[in-house]
C-alpha cells in the first residue's frame, strides 16, 4: 500500500473469530486493573511509546467498540467469579461501609472501645490504627472515593462519569431495604 509522505503506514492487527485483536485483549486486561482507558491503551501498546493525546483518544475509541466492551465484561465476571465476589456482595459491603456510625467506636465516657469489639461495619471501614502519645489514632476509608469506584466498576457511571439516574435510584432503593438485604429496584 502506498504511503503518504510524512505519515507512517498503519499496522493492521489481525482479528480473531470474535473480532478481537491481540491489542484489544491486552487493552481489556489493562483496563480492568485501574479502569483508566488512557493508561490501559498506553500499557497495551508497550513497548511502543504512545503520546498521551493519542492514548486518550484511542483508549476512548476502544471502549466504544461492542466487542471490547463484551470482552471487558466477560473478563470482569470471570475475575469476580474466581474470587467468589458477586455484585450483590459488593453492594452489601458497600452498604455496610457507607452506613457505619463512628459514634459506635466510643464508650459513653468518650474512650475508644477495644479493636476486637468493633462492630463489623466499623471494622470494615478502618484502614489503619496508630498508637500515639495522646491515644490511638484511627484512619477511616474515604467513603466518597470508595462509592465512586464501586459504582464505576459495576457500570453505574456513564463513560463521561456522569451519574445515570436509573442506576443511582436502583442503588439507593437497595440501601433502603428494611431487613438489611439488598433487593433490586422494581421495574
Of 26, 39, 38, whose CA–CA distance to 68 is shortest? 26
Are residue 91 and residue 57 in the same domain, yes or no? no
Cell 470482552 maps to which residue?
A: 71
Are residue 96 and residue 51 in the same domain, yes or no? no
Question: 108 pLDDT band (50/70/90 cuts)?
Answer: very high
Q: Give the per-residue pLDDT at 161.
A: 44
CA 8 to chain centre: 36
Q: Assess whether pLDDT exceeds 80 at residue 117.
A: yes
Are residue 96 and residue 46 in the same domain, yes or no? no
Q: What is the C-alpha to C-alpha distance for residues 166 and 153, in angstroms, rounded to an integer?
A: 16
Q: What is the C-alpha to C-alpha distance for residues 115 and 128, in angstroms, rounded to an integer?
A: 11
> What is the number of domains present in the chain?
2
Are residue 91 and residue 172 in the same domain, yes or no? yes
**Residue 33 · residue 39 · CB < 8 Å:** no
Instruction: Give the contacts of 50 (CB within 8 A, at least 6 positions apart).
Output: 41, 42, 58
Instruction: Give the contacts of 87 (CB within 8 A, at least 6 positions apart).
Output: 80, 154
Q: Assess whether pLDDT exceeds 50 at residue 162.
A: no
Are residue 117 and residue 177 in the same domain, yes or no? yes
CB-count burial class (<10 Å; 0-12, 13-18, 19+) for 60: middle
| pLDDT tens figures, 125-139 | 887 888 888 878 888
Are residue 130 and residue 185 in the same domain, yes or no? yes
Q: What is the mean pLDDT of residues 139-163?
A: 67
Q: Give the per-residue pLDDT at 177.
A: 47
**Domain end among 60, 80, 100:** 80
The domain of 133 spans 86-187
Are residue 171 and residue 141 in the same domain, yes or no? yes
Are residue 90 and residue 165 in the same domain, yes or no? yes
Amino acid at each position: 500500500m502506498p504511503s503518504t509522505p510524512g505519515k507512517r503506514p498503519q499496522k493492521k492487527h489481525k482479528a480473531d473469530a470474535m473480532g478481537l485483536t491481540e491489542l484489544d485483549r491486552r487493552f481489556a486486561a489493562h483496563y480492568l486493573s485501574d479502569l483508566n482507558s488512557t493508561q490501559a491503551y498506553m500499557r497495551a501498546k508497550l513497548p511502543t511509546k504512545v503520546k498521551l493525546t493519542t492514548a486518550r483518544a484511542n483508549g476512548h475509541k476502544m471502549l466504544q467498540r461492542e466487542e471490547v466492551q463484551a470482552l471487558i465484561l466477560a473478563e470482569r465476571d470471570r475475575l469476580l467469579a474466581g474470587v467468589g465476589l458477586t455484585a450483590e456482595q459488593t453492594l452489601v459491603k458497600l452498604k455496610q461501609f457507607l452506613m457505619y456510625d463512628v459514634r459506635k467506636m466510643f464508650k459513653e465516657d468518650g474512650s475508644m472501645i477495644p479493636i476486637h469489639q468493633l462492630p463489623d461495619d466499623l471494622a470494615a471501614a478502618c484502614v489503619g490504627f496508630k498508637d500515639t502519645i495522646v491515644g490511638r489514632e484511627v484512619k477511616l476509608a474515604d467513603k466518597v472515593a470508595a462509592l465512586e469506584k464501586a459504582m464505576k466498576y459495576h457500570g453505574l457511571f456513564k463513560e463521561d462519569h456522569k451519574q445515570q439516574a436509573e442506576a443511582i435510584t436502583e442503588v439507593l432503593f437497595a440501601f433502603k431495604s428494611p431487613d438489611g438485604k439488598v433487593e433490586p429496584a422494581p421495574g
